[in-house]
Amino acid sequence: MLDAQTLSMIGKGIIETLYMVIVSTACAYAIGLPIGLILVITDKNGIRPCPIISKVLGFIVNLLRSVPFVILMISVTPLTRKIVGTTLGTSATIVPLVIASAPYIARLVESSIKEVDAGIIEAARAMGTGTFRLIYKVLLPEAKPSLMVGGAIAITTILGYSAMSGFIGGGGLGDIAVRYGYYRSESDILIVTVAVLIIIVQGFQELGMRLAKRSDKRS
Amino acid sequence: MDINEPIISLRGVTKVFNTKESEVDALIDIDLDIYQGEIYGIIGQSGAGKSTLVRCINFLERPTKGSVIFDGQNLGNLSLKELLKVRQSIGMIFQQFNLLMQRTVLRNICYPLEIAGVPKKEAKQRAVELLEMVGLTDKINAYPSQLSGGQKQRVAIARAIATKPKVLLCDEATSALDPMTTRSILELLKDINQRFGITIVIITHEMDVIETICDKVAILENGRIVERGKVEDVFVNPKSNAGKRLVFKSDEQFSEFGSEKVYRIVFNGQSAFEPIISNMVAKFKAPVNILFANTKNIGGKAFGQMLIQLPEDRIITMQMLGYLEERAVRYEEVTQDA
Ligand SMILES: Nc1ncnc2c1ncn2[C@@H]1O[C@H](COP(=O)(O)OP(=O)(O)O)[C@@H](O)[C@H]1O
Ligand SMILES: [Mg+2]
């Protein structure tokens, strides 16, 4: 059935997938987290209302989010070539993954931060907390459990995107599924790949939820 | 600072909220002076503008018009940085406590000290002292969700006074608490006021709270101060309709007055708690109509007030008043203004 070669290929696929997903998630958070914070803070009911910034940023986020991933993936190839030097393989896939997921993460972060009780923010402001310290001493720590849940959702979504990128030679498990399962109809390889993907998704989901629950001191 | 200068002074403070549908005049031309060491109550019904008023004092809300002078500084003229500094000398507590849920009790109390730039070790030491003062030393490492409402408010109070502020603002601080806990929190506030001389501003919709600890009171109605003065004076003879409503809990009682004289008797802790009216009725064998009563027994002493109708007979009335005087009960004839 599955020989050693196939298994090692799947093993390599797992590592590639994890590499793509983890690096993409990290980069996407580096962009999405600040954008999410800016969206909350500059909102008309925010701490430093600035409708122009919040509207423009919100528009860009919505625009990017409304482009289906497959189309985005193809349309950013020129940019990918500029940044990575190639459009094939795992590193090249990270570019569209980040561009697609950063706005999604910005919205996840925005909604987590908005969950922070307005009364707590008011108390912090009454104690003389400025905007910057409000963010890292109040908003982020208080929203931590919710941000972690968001993180689990983001990482599984990015995993899904990364599998889709198999169609353009993105590497990883998605690539294997497309090459063997789809083009060659080797259904046992397809099944194993899908099973591994499911396990990884469930694993991240479970881990994220558990960490979130453990870190939450509200209950 | 001149001792006769108020620590908080509002002049012509007006706040208009512009919403999509309408304009709300939350505060209209408020003048208010609060002096060092006072416990000043601001009472009014829900929506009267109390929270807006108290939030104007620390400029969480910027008045649309008018000025707020705190400790000699006009807050409207300060830069953001200066304003943040001023806020560190104004503590605030809330109905919903508003503790940081992901921080322990200790770290909650350390929070304002962190903001004020107090070194960690010193901050911790101060927090421990404060916890001792509010009687929660054993909860030092607990999280707010593990505390009762009263305990949360004690932590909030410790946090609010950590930076040794000059003023403590309390927005409905006891409204989410049961009567017993309310009393213990009010006692704590009184204690803080006496020990540290912190000026306290109490916002409430409950007359009981004002009665229990305030020196002065302002009654807020529809964004205006309709009556103000020493608590005893407003109590003994509320002039505004809002004041009467708050003191008597309803307007009706006034219209019941016939030709008989109505007296308010005030128990201010000078007299023993005893069924004074029934004893009086038994002694003089004349009817007394109790229109309103709100008395409490605190440590065997009577606190609160009653509104009673004494018999038409002048002589019996005089004797009854003499009886009350003997028992150190203050009374006053209530004048009925239209
Ligand atoms: N941010 C706001 N936007 C619009 N209206 C407000 C806002 N805050 C308060 N108000 C309105 O101002 C009035 C006074 O509110 P508030 O000060 O909260 O009253 P209180 O604390 O006495 O219940 C109410 O009519 C309320 O609806
Ligand atoms: Mg209020």
Q: How confident is the model at residue B250 (pLDDT cuts 50, 70, 90)?
A: low
CB pairs under 8 A between A and B: 77
Does ligand 1 come within 6 angstroms of the Cβ of B255?
no
Q: How confident is the model at residue B336 (pLDDT cuts 50, 70, 90)?
A: low
List chain B residues with CB under 8 Å of A129: 84, 115
More confidently predicted of B171 and B257: B171
Does ligand 1 come within 6 angstroms of the Cβ of B49?
yes
Structure-token match 């004076």, residue found: B233
CA of A154 to the centre of ligand 2 (A): 39
Q: How confident is the model at residue B203 (pLDDT cuts 50, 70, 90)?
A: very high
C-alpha–C-alpha distance, residues A215 and B157, integer Å: 26
- A114 backbone φψ class: left, alpha, beta (φ>0; ψ -120 to 50): alpha
Q: How confident is the model at residue B338 (pLDDT cuts 50, 70, 90)?
A: very low
Percentage of chain B beyond pLDDT 70 is 93
Q: How confident is the model at residue B197 (pLDDT cuts 50, 70, 90)?
A: very high
More confidently predicted of B276 and A162: A162
Mean pLDDT of A21-33: 97
Mean pLDDT of A154-176: 88
Phi, psi of A153 (to 5 degrees): -65, -45
List chain B residues with CB under 8 Å of A142: 100-102
Q: How confident is the model at residue B251 (pLDDT cuts 50, 70, 90)?
A: very low
Question: Does residue B325 register a pLDDT over 90?
Answer: no
Nearest ligand (C-alpha, residue B49): 1
What are the helix and strand counts (H, E) for chain A?
Answer: 10, 0
CB contact under 8 A, B145 and A128: no
The C-alpha of A38 sits at a distance from chain B's nearest C-alpha, in angstroms, of: 19
Per the confidence metrics, is the pTM higher than 0.95? no
The C-alpha of B88 sits at a distance from chain A's nearest C-alpha, in angstroms, of: 5
Facing residue for A217 by CB, picked from B92, B94, B101 = B101
List chain A residues with CB under 8 Å of B116: 128
Does ligand 1 come within 6 angstroms of the Cβ of B91?
no
Residues 90-129 of B with CB under 8 A from A: 90-92, 94, 96, 98-103, 111-112, 114-116
Question: Does residue B19 register a pLDDT over 90?
Answer: no
- B249 backbone φψ class: left, alpha, beta (φ>0; ψ -120 to 50): left
Phi, psi of B280 (to 5 degrees): -65, -45
Q: What is the ipTM of this complex?
A: 0.90
Percentage of chain A beyond pLDDT 70 is 100
Looking at chain B, which residue has its C-alpha nearest residue A133? B115
| Cα B53 off chain centre by | 14
Comparing A147-156, A158-167, B291-300, B312-321, the range with the smallest average pLDDT is B291-300
By the CB < 8 Å criterion, does A45 face chain B?
no
List chain B residues with CB under 8 Å of A112: none
More confidently predicted of B264 and A17: A17
Alpha carbon distance, N-terminus to C-terminus of chain A: 50
Please give the number of the atom of ligand 1 that sits closest to the Cα of B171: 21
By the CB < 8 Å criterion, does B87 face chain A?
yes
Q: What is the CA radius of gyration of chain B?
A: 23
**Average pLDDT along chain B:** 89
Indicate if the alpha-carbon torsion angle B224, B227, B230, B235 is positive or negative: negative
3-state secondary structure B261-326: CEEEEEEEEEEECCCHHHHHHHHHCCCCEEEEEEEEEECCEEEEEEEEECCCCHHHHHHHHHHHHH
- What pLDDT, on the 0 to 100 scale, is given for residue B255? 47
Using DSSP bridges, classify how beta strands B65-70 and B8-18 pair: parallel, antiparallel or unpaired.
antiparallel
The amino acid at residue B75 is L
pLDDT in tens, B161-190: 999 999 999 999 999 999 999 999 999 999
The C-alpha of A44 sits at a distance from chain B's nearest C-alpha, in angstroms, of: 12
- What pLDDT, on the 0 to 100 scale, is given for residue B249? 67
Burial class (CB in 10 A: 0-12, 13-18, 19+), A115: exposed
Tokens of B134: 């509010």
Closest C-alpha among B173, B183, B133 to residue B153: B173
Closest C-alpha among B179, B120, B109, B183 to residue B147: B109
CB contact under 8 A, B60 and A126: yes
pLDDT in tens, B33-71: 999 999 999 999 999 999 999 999 999 999 999 999 999
More confidently predicted of A84 and B304: A84
Q: How confident is the model at residue B256 (pLDDT cuts 50, 70, 90)?
A: very low
Nearest ligand (C-alpha, residue B46): 1
More confidently predicted of B189 and A89: B189
Closest C-alpha among B89, B208, B34, B266 to residue A128: B89
C-alpha–C-alpha distance, residues B217 and B202, integer Å: 9
